[in-house]
Structure formats: C-alpha cells, structure tokens
C-alpha cells in the first residue's frame, strides 16, 4: 500500500519547512514528512527550500552566507504565521524522534554544493538514532553515490527531467529508490522499477485524480502538500 509523505510538511495550509507544518502533518496520520536541507555559514544544517531566504522570510541573502544566529532572527513571510522561524535540522529530528514518522531529508546540493554536508547530516541523524527512519534524497547524483558510501539508510535519486531511465539511474548511482516528478513518470517505467524491486515515490501529487491514479498503480510513496487529502483517498481505497 502507498505511503503518504507531507511535502515540506503540511505545506498547503501552513508555511513550508517549518515546525508548525511538520507538526500539523503528523496530526494527519501520514507516514512521513519531506524536508529540504541547506547549510549555514557556520556549518549548521538548515531546513529551508531555496538557496536564499528571500522568498520565504523577511530577510535577504544566501543561506550559505548567513550564520545560525542571523537566520534565527528572520521571520517566515506568510500571513498569519509570522512567528514561525527557519528550523535547524536538530529541532526537527529532536521532535521527530518522539513520533513514528519517516523523515525524507532532501539535500539541496544540486545548485550550490555544500562540502561535507553528506557526512554532517548522516552524523546528525545518528545522534538521534534515526538511521532506520530516514530516507535521503537529492537531485545531485554524485551526492547520491557519496551518500551510499557514508550511510546504510535508504538513499533515493531524484529527477524531474523527461528521458531519464530510472533503472539506469539506479544502476549508475546505486540508489535504493527513485523519487521523481509525477509529470515525467509513466506507468510503464514504474512497472519496470517495481519488477526490479525499486520503490518509486512521486512528487508533488496534490490533485485527487492524480493521487488516486498513482495509488491504483501501486506507487510506494505519495509526496504531497496535502497529506490530509492523500490519507483520505488512501483510506477510501482500503
């Protein structure tokens, strides 16, 4: 049966990649959460989607140029939720360790490569004893290979471009799973993966008809901004 992952937390109704969005996701009974990871100037693992803080906060600048202290001064730029702050990974893992959630940590290292990020995140996950409850993913396929060398946790190769053959991608990176944009996945490619024992999780499935179609096709993971809706559709099918 498909498992539901809340994309950037319960991000349809709450500000993405915030503790509030993760906590609201957990309340929906979903299987897991997905989050995005960058690195601050002073080496902290920072939970935010973009390379800069410009879109989601009241600040300006690259995450890599700001310290944890400077990042923590910023407020999330979304109506009604201005008290929310950018979390560092410790905060999410400390809370998640007390839940049953699976945590999909997407390393955002395809545009800016953060030296040492793979080792740092693997070490941090180990500090919280969450090795069996994380799935790493990244669009950077060199980083997928590196992750496979430094962790025994599941590692997924992400892609969003047409023409990529997931079987070849798994073979070349040694990834355990495929995470892909649903627009570039076909039922035939998914069957190939299933026949080869490769879990496929698709993002970002928000429309009922699309969620339903992929659940019927036996998708391993529904990555959605609306975990409540996906859980409801899933239950109706059980």
Nearer CB in complex with ligand G3P: 36/228:
36
Cβ closest to ligand G3P, residue 70 vs residue 77: 77
Rg, Å, the chain Cα set: 17
Residue 33's closest CA among 87, 109, 114? 87
Question: CA 116 to CA 137: how far, in whole Å?
Answer: 16
Residue 36 in contact with ligand G3P, rule: CB under 6 A: yes
How far, in Å, CA of 162 to CA of 217, rounded?
Answer: 20
By a kind-dependent CB cut-off of 5 to 8 A, residue 84 interacts, out of ligand G3P, Ca ion, none, with none
**Total number of residues that touch ligand G3P (CB under 6 A):** 10
Name which position in 16, 106, 176, 225 contacts Ca ion (CB under 5 A).
106
Q: Does 16 bind ligand G3P (CB under 6 A)?
A: no
User: What is the DSSP code (8-state) at residue 57?
Assistant: B
Under the binding rule (CB under 6 A), the answer on residue 34 touching ligand G3P is yes
Which 8-state DSSP code applies to residue 62?
Answer: B
Q: For 196, list phi and psi in degrees, rounded to 5.
A: -100, 10
Paired sense of beta strands 154-159 and 32-39, if any:
unpaired
11 touches ligand G3P (CB under 6 A)? no
Residue 36 binds Ca ion, judged by CB under 5 A: yes
49 has catalytic annotation: yes
Tokens of 74: 């910023």
Q: Which residues here bind ligand G3P, judged by CB under 6 A?
A: 7, 34, 36, 49, 106, 137, 158, 179, 203, 223
Q: Which residues here bind Ca ion, judged by CB under 5 A?
A: 36, 106
Catalytic residues, which ones? 7, 49
């Amino acid at each position: 049966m498909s498992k539901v992952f809340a994309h950037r937390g319960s991000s349809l109704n709450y500000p993405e990649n915030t503790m509030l969005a993760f906590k609201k996701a957990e309340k929906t009974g979903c299987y897991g959460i997905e989050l995005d990871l960058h690195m601050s100037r002073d080496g902290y693992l920072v939970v935010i989607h973009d390379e800069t803080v410009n879109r989601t906060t009241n600040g300006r600048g690259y995450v890599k140029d700001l310290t944890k202290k400077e990042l923590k001064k910023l407020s999330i730029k979304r109506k009604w939720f201005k008290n929310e702050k950018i979390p560092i990974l410790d905060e999410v893992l400390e809370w998640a360790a007390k839940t049953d959630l699976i945590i999909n940590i997407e390393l955002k290292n395809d545009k800016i490569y953060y030296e040492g990020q793979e080792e740092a995140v693997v070490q941090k996950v180990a500090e919280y004893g969450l090795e069996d409850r994380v799935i790493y993913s990244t669009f950077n396929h060199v980083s997928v290979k590196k992750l496979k060398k430094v962790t025994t946790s599941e590692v997924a190769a992400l892609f969003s471009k047409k023409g990529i053959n997931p079987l070849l991608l798994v073979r070349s990176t040694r990834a355990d799973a495929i995470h892909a944009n649903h627009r570039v996945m076909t039922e035939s490619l998914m069957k190939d993966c299933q026949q080869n024992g490769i879990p496929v999780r698709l993002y970002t499935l928000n429309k009922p008809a699309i969620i339903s179609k992929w659940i019927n096709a036996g998708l391993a993971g529904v990555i959605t901004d609306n975990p409540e809706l996906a859980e409801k559709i899933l239950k109706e099918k059980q």
